[in-house]
């Protein structure tokens, strides 16, 4: 009984800590990168939501921001970056191209990055406005808070 209480409290605290310290890796391939920059820079400042640290190594990051068109030629690169990230990890599909391929319905473009890696939050828009991005970020934080957390000495059923 008391053990369950401690576990659920610890789960909650861990979720709280993780949602407010999302180190992110920007995988930027197209014009959505400009919108990413304006969201990350001081005017809209998504550091207010704890997403301040941009890590340019996938091994140190928690959130992969897939930002822009993914072509079939670069798909193995994105897959490798995702595989290199350590658990726990989340993926944000930023912009219409990353969500569904967008206007590029042709031989070269992957129809959404969820054909390659699992995605947690989809942000529509071509490109999305910073407010939309912040809304998507808050949605992701709610998801992280509610989900079942993993930790090393957790008892498995």
Partner 1 sequence: MEKKKVIEELKQKFAEKIKEVSAQFGDEILLIERDSLLDIVQFLKDKPYSYSMLLDLTCVDYKGQEPRFEMVYHLYSIPNVQRLRIKVSLSEKDLRIDSLASLWKNANWLEREVFDMFGVDFKGHPDLRRIFMYDGFEGYPLRKDYPLRKRQPRIPLRK
Asked if 70 interacts with partner 1 (CB under 8 A), we say no
Asked if 110 interacts with partner 1 (CB under 8 A), we say yes
**Cis omega (within 30 of 0) on the bond before 155?**
no
Asked if 76 interacts with partner 1 (CB under 8 A), we say yes
In this chain, which of 107, 155, 156, 157 binds partner 1, going by CB under 8 A?
107
Calculate the dihedral angle through the C-alpha atoms of 38, 44, 49, 54, rounding to the nearest 10 degrees.
Answer: 20
In this chain, which of 34, 41, 53, 72 binds partner 1, going by CB under 8 A?
72
Asked if 108 interacts with partner 1 (CB under 8 A), we say yes
Contact region for partner 1 (CB under 8 A) — 19-27, 69-77, 138-146, 148-156? 69-77
Asked if 48 interacts with partner 1 (CB under 8 A), we say no
With CB under 8 A as the rule, give the number of residues binding partner 1: 15
Q: Which residues bind partner 1 (CB under 8 A)?
A: 72-73, 75-76, 79, 105-108, 110, 114-118
């Amino acid at each position: 009984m008391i053990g369950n209480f401690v576990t659920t409290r610890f789960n909650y605290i861990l979720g709280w800590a993780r949602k407010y310290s999302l180190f992110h890796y920007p995988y930027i391939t197209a014009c959505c990168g400009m919108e990413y920059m304006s969201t990350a820079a001081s005017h809209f400042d998504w550091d207010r939501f704890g997403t301040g640290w941009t890590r340019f190594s996938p091994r140190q990051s928690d959130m992969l921001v897939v930002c822009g068109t993914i072509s079939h030629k670069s798909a193995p690169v994105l897959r490798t970056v995702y595989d290199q990230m350590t658990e726990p990890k989340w993926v944000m599909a930023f912009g219409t191209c990353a969500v569904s391929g967008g206007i590029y319905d042709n031989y070269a473009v992957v129809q959404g990055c969820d054909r390659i890696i699992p995605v947690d939050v989809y942000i529509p828009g071509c490109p999305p406005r910073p407010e939309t991005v912040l809304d998507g970020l808050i949605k992701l934080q709610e998801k992280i808070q509610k989900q079942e957390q993993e930790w090393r000495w957790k008892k498995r059923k």
